Amino acid sequence: MITIIPAIDLIGGECVRLSQGDYDRKTTYFKDPLEVALRYEAIGIRRLHLVDLDGAKTSAPVNLAVLRRIAENTSLEVQYGGGIKSADALRAVFDNGARRAICGSIAVTEPERMAAWLDEFGPARIVLGADAKNGRIATHGWLQESELTIEQLVEKFLPQGLSQVICTDISKDGMLQGPTFDLYEKLQNSFPSVDITVSGGISSMDDILRLDAMGLRSVIVGKAIYEGRISLKDLESCLQNG
């Protein structure tokens, strides 16, 4: 069964969601992200996607205290992204309890550093964040577009054993219109040695089941949960049946 990874996006230490990556289109859902994380843990979720939107905008992790609270008070495997641009930032993320670090902009702007991190920390801990806008990779909190395609970015790091990629279609993110199924199927088929995680647009359990049937291995779900499109009971039943 496909691995379901709930998302918690952070601004000012609170659980929020953006629409299409637009910081001016923000909805706050919970004041305390730990409360949300504990709910996920209680139904059997094992992995949590924590995005530091403040960090993505300022190019340095900002919400490490939230990461530490969740890591210390749950057994969840936390993958953390947002603002990881230096070795000090990467180590701070790991020191505060993250099991995996998501590196996106740095992979585009300083691919040699990304390659070195894969060598030093291993592909089990370093995840490539490939965020796409208009078919091109977007960086710096989705505020800048590069000339790279997703495929070109992934290929860069295969020699270092890259094994995990989170691909977000920004046009779908937070819109609850379903993911771009063809994109993810093509990526997974093109890179069978890499776990392609679907991110952006999940609107229902049917979307998740369709991705599972297509052979995708993991999926991030955020707004659909907060808006009641997917209930915790739905997730729990899926986990038990899977």
Instruction: Please list the active-site residues.
Output: 9, 131
3-class SS letters over the chain: CCEEEEEEEEECCEEEEEECCEEEEEEEEECCHHHHHHHHHHCCCCEEEEEEHHHHHHCCCCCHHHHHHHHHHCCCEEEEECCCCCHHHHHHHHHCCCCEEEECHHHHHCHHHHHHHHHHHCCCCEEEEEEEECCEEEECCCCEECCCCHHHHHHHCHHHCCCEEEEEECCCCCCCCCCCHHHHHHHHHHCCCCEEEEECCCCCHHHHHHHHHHCCCEEEECHHHHCCCCCHHHHHHHHHHC
